[in-house]
Structure 1
Amino acid sequence: MGEIDKIAQETGFSGVVQIDRGGQVEFAQAYGLANRAYGVPNTLDTRFGIASGSKGFTALAVISLVREGALELSTTARSLLGKDLPLIADDVTIEHLLTHTSGIGDYLDEEVDAEITDYFIGAAHDLATTEAFLPLLDGHPTKFQAGERFGYCNGGFVVLALLAERASGVGYHDLVRERVLRPAGMTRTDFLRSDELPADAAVGYLPIDGVDRTNVFHLPVLSTGDGGIHTTAADISTFWRALFAGDIVSSVEEVVRPRCDVPEGSRRYGLGFWLDGTTDDVTLVGYDAGESFKSTHDPHTGTTCTVLSNTSPGAWPIARAFVS
């Protein structure tokens, strides 16, 4: 895999790359620094924030509640929101939110021309619970009628986390721990506060005014439904194997069944997962301030290709070359 080393050197890649087949690691290498101030190198055990990569975990927690009867895919958001978020249309359902076809306005709209170095979320330190996101989610007009088309929506997955909490009576973070991480055996994955990262977690970096700064003011202090959990390359491989073994939800075929076409990139979308346009490959991907991540799994060969980085652009050159 000398080509990966070459790309890493040419781009100054900071992160971890792992390729395994059927649980056997074929390539695993760490590059760059997890903490630049103290010169701490990334290792294969370093935990990285994966931004929207954890939307799949949110989806699985919600689907597990559906399987238990606490929710239905046809459950409307309004039935649990009550008077909260009045601009969300009354006909928006759990399934619409899971498939990015809800049409609701987005607090973090990726269709708007903006820079990753911009500040979007206000008082980051206040965002430690899902309910704390309500002021951010409020006031965004509907973009299109529910079910009309695909329209990527970060806020929709925060709403899903909120609905899951209200339906189950359990906090979002514990729901994911109990219903996804624990049954999958993901012992190195968790929700970490950005203002007290442990020594084995990579600090995220991005250039601001010509200086590389951390992402501590750009992201919520504790991630919620739309992404940001910290994990390792090995845990991601463990996740894919557990998912397709039916250890997380028994109905994995429904999770990865194409629900809608994505206009750009010849892709499709399932319930919280990106799907290739022509093959059965399933992908999780994340991009945010100081974080980039892509992991693709081929369920037929059991091959997983994962790239994690603690910079915003870091994962993409290697992912384009080695992760479909």
Structure 2
Amino acid sequence: MNIYIRFIVGWLLLGQLAHTTFAQTTALVEPQIDQVFQTFAQQDDFQGAVLVGYQNEVLYEKAFGLANREWDIANTVETKFNLASISKQFTAAIILQLVEEGELKLNQTIADYYPQYRKDVGKQVTLHQLLTHQSGIPNYTSLPSVWSDSLYRKYSREELVNKFASGDLEFKPGSQYQYNNSGYLILSRIIEQVTAKPFDKVFEERIAQPLGLQYTGTDDRQKIIPQRASGYAKTSGGYENVYSMYMQNLQGAGNLYGTVGDLFQWGQTLFGEKLLSAKAVDRMTRPYTDVNQQWIPPYENRYGYGLGIAKIPLPDQKPTAMAFHSGHIRGFSGFFAYYPAEEYTVIILSNTGEVSTARMNLINLEVAQVLNKVLAPNNSSKASPKASTKRKSKKKRSVAAKDLDQERDLEKAMTLAWEAGGAEAARQQYHTLLERFPYDYPDTQAILSRFSQSLLKEKDTEGALAIAELNSRSNPHWQTFTELAILQQQAGQKDVAAQYYQKAISVNPNRTEEEQRAFQAAQKALKILL
């Protein structure tokens, strides 16, 4: 009994120590973070709410300005703001849930799941390309007059897609990145097609209820939503109300509302791999696009699934990864940032639409630098024991936390590319890595052979053939010719199979027992085929 009591007392003391240490950490950083946001509010007339978190704890949250100017009602940390394009990560997460359940495949096309969509385009564009803004479909929110006219009209979802998101392709799908709200509208329609439920119902059942996001939902300007902020435009003469939009026109791309607290809870659940598997989070936070510097200048960033991925410099360490997204809509601005390695969260939500992404990112960086001074590993004496232990024991990190330019696992990289865009994407990934790191892969024959067989097991016969053909060109060997011949024979391509058996025989030295057996087997197969 005494041992049991000592254990309980020790456990309570440890808990009290952790709590005290966290309180000390908060006391160190809170005044500095507050100074950053107070200056932001004074210099930029910032109106909204902010939150800063470390690991699963909130270090700082505060509200500024007015939620409703007519009634002089102040913003609070429980005020609901439109999330605008921050909404995209929720849509991406639902897509990945359906992928994990076997309902969707990322390398399948729009036409496979949304038969009402125009077929000539729908057959060319994959879900992966929609998620990564590489579809080539025109961005409907960039069309002339759409913001001043069309987005305020009440369209059915089908009318909206047909009228605004079904234009001719602007470029070959997968060939370039162009930020695109049409893609996420189409993804929301695919979700509805597959689940046979409205998007708002799917969001409620799959995200809001399981995660306990009580203050997050699909926005509807006609509904009475308690504690929702009014949206304002800042003019030279002060502020004015913005016109009420028909928010369903932005379904999947920017029609959610939420609070800073709920958004923090969302980030903890997502990056804590409690909603999606580690593999799915890895997919979501892997940058697929070319580098661009326009979104958060001057920092390089690329796009994953519903999230931007950037390399950000923090004091006294190499550039670190940041998963983020901004949001802008008439009357609202927002910024969500999560640092996977450091476990920092910075959230900014405003009920004015004029706060630029670049400015919000600079504020986010100021806050991250404050946190880093206190919590970085080289200042571990100031960090909590919990933080230090977790950082040492945490072996698994999101891909966003790695230096992806140094990703050298060819087989893994090709597998991820295949999952996202099929065999052609895998072949492109092969050539990209071989060009970038020509001396890192002295023997690709075994890798390509294994990969081809894995595609065959996944019943992607065409993909297996394509990779086997790539292997025979990259590694002209009797083994690669034989493997390709067998696959062609299984596919019913007898003439082609015969040609590769002949090539295998012509280059086979026929010396060792293995070579002799292969030589004889190829001759036997050739006799059957001819």
Cα shift at 1:252: 1.1
Compared CA separation, residues 319 and 163, structure 1 to 2 (3 A): same
3-state SS, counterpart of residue 335 of structure 2: strand
Q: What is the aligned counterpart of 1:273 among 307, 328, 353? A: 307
Mean Cα deviation higher: 189-198 or 304-313: 189-198
Aligned partners of 1:98 and 1:272 also within 8 Å:
yes
Cα shift at 1:122: 4.5
Query: Do structure 1's residue 289 and structure 2's residue 311 form an aligned pair?
Result: no
Aligned partners of 2:51 and 2:60 also within 8 Å:
yes
1:251-272 C-alpha deviation (Å, 9 max, x unpaired): 2112111222242241011111
Q: Which residue of structure 1 lines up, in the alignment, with residue 350 of structure 2?
A: 309
Compared CA separation, residues 271 and 107, structure 1 to 2 (3 A): same
Aligned partners of 2:110 and 2:117 also within 8 Å:
no
Aligned partners of 2:213 and 2:262 also within 8 Å:
yes
Tell me the TM-score normalised to structure 1 length. Answer: 0.89
Q: Which residue of structure 2 lines up, in the alignment, with residue 174 of structure 1?
A: 201
Compared CA separation, residues 40 and 199, structure 1 to 2 (3 A): farther
List alignment gaps of at least 5 residues for structure 2.
1-33, 294-298, 312-318, 369-530
Cα shift at 1:184: 2.7
Cα shift at 1:288: 1.4
Q: What is the aligned counterpart of 1:183 among 198, 205, 210? A: 210
1:165-188 C-alpha deviation (Å, 9 max, x unpaired): 111212111222222223333221
3-state SS, counterpart of residue 63 of structure 1: helix
**How far, CA to CA, are the matches of 1:315 and 1:235 in structure 2?**
23
Q: Which residue of structure 2 lines up, in the alignment, with residue 55 of structure 1?
A: 88
**How far, CA to CA, are the matches of 1:227 and 1:6 in structure 2?**
29
**How far, CA to CA, are the matches of 1:56 and 1:135 in structure 2?**
24
Q: Which residue of structure 2 lines up, in the alignment, with residue 121 of structure 1?
A: 150
Compared CA separation, residues 115 and 137, structure 1 to 2 (3 A): closer
Q: Which residue of structure 1 lines up, in the alignment, with residue 191 of structure 2?
A: 164
**How far, CA to CA, are the matches of 2:242 and 2:300 in structure 1?**
32
**How far, CA to CA, are the matches of 1:38 and 1:266 in structure 2?**
43
**How far, CA to CA, are the matches of 1:37 and 1:86 in structure 2?**
50
Q: What is the aligned counterpart of 1:299 among 332, 337, 340? A: 340
3-state SS, counterpart of residue 305 of structure 1: strand
Aligned partners of 2:131 and 2:306 also within 8 Å:
yes
Compared CA separation, residues 115 and 48, structure 1 to 2 (3 A): farther
Cα shift at 1:164: 1.2
Q: What is the aligned counterpart of 1:34 among 67, 89, 102? A: 67
Q: Which residue of structure 1 lines up, in the alignment, with residue 123 of structure 2?
A: 90
Return the letter of the residue paired with 1:322.
N
**How far, CA to CA, are the matches of 1:138 and 1:11 in structure 2?**
36
**How far, CA to CA, are the matches of 1:24 and 1:98 in structure 2?**
30
Q: Which residue of structure 2 lines up, in the alignment, with residue 80 of structure 1?
A: 113
Matches within 5 A, 1:62-77: 62-77=95-110
1:78-104 C-alpha deviation (Å, 9 max, x unpaired): 223324345635210111101111111
Q: Which residue of structure 2 lines up, in the alignment, with residue 131 of structure 1?
A: 158
Compared CA separation, residues 79 and 208, structure 1 to 2 (3 A): farther
Higher helix share: 2
Query: Do structure 1's residue 255 and structure 2's residue 288 form an aligned pair?
Result: no
Return the letter of the residue paired with 2:336.
S
Mean Cα deviation higher: 214-223 or 290-299: 214-223
Q: What is the aligned counterpart of 2:266 among 239, 255, 279? A: 239
Aligned partners of 2:136 and 2:169 also within 8 Å:
yes
Higher strand share: 1
Cα shift at 1:304: 0.4
Identity %: 26
Q: Which residue of structure 1 lines up, in the alignment, with residue 53 of structure 2?
A: 20
**How far, CA to CA, are the matches of 2:204 and 2:321 in structure 1?**
27
RMSD: 2.5
1:94-135 C-alpha deviation (Å, 9 max, x unpaired): 1110111111112112xx7x899x5152443x14x6335224
Return the letter of the residue paired with 2:87.
S
List alignment gaps of at least 5 residues for structure 1.
none
1:243-292 C-alpha deviation (Å, 9 max, x unpaired): 12222111211211122224224101111111113533211211111111
1:5-51 C-alpha deviation (Å, 9 max, x unpaired): 02202221110111111222222110111111111110010010010
Q: Which residue of structure 2 lines up, in the alignment, with residue 6 of structure 1?
A: 39
Aligned partners of 1:87 and 1:140 also within 8 Å:
no
Return the letter of the residue paired with 1:72.
K
**How far, CA to CA, are the matches of 2:104 and 2:36 in structure 1?**
47
Mean Cα deviation higher: 48-57 or 252-261: 252-261
Mean Cα deviation higher: 175-184 or 293-302: 175-184
Q: Which residue of structure 2 lines up, in the alignment, with residue 104 of structure 1?
A: 137
**How far, CA to CA, are the matches of 1:14 and 1:208 in structure 2?**
14
**How far, CA to CA, are the matches of 1:35 and 1:23 in structure 2?**
31
**How far, CA to CA, are the matches of 2:364 and 2:181 in structure 1?**
27
**How far, CA to CA, are the matches of 1:318 and 1:194 in structure 2?**
26
**How far, CA to CA, are the matches of 1:91 and 1:81 in structure 2?**
13
**How far, CA to CA, are the matches of 1:282 and 1:257 in structure 2?**
10
Q: Which residue of structure 1 lines up, in the alignment, with residue 240 of structure 2?
A: 213
Aligned partners of 2:139 and 2:165 also within 8 Å:
no
**How far, CA to CA, are the matches of 1:237 and 1:94 in structure 2?**
27
Aligned partners of 1:108 and 1:120 also within 8 Å:
no
3-state SS, counterpart of residue 156 of structure 1: helix
Task: Say how many residue pairs are matched.
Answer: 318
* Higher-RCO chain (CA-CA 8 Å, sequence separation at least 6): 1
Return the letter of the residue paired with 2:82.
G
Compared CA separation, residues 21 and 133, structure 1 to 2 (3 A): same
Cα shift at 1:298: 1.2
**How far, CA to CA, are the matches of 2:259 and 2:340 in structure 1?**
20
- Considering only CA atoms, is the larger Rg found in Structure 1 or Structure 2? 2
Q: Which residue of structure 2 lines up, in the alignment, with residue 321 of structure 1?
A: 363
3-state SS, counterpart of residue 260 of structure 1: coil
Return the letter of the residue paired with 1:140.
G
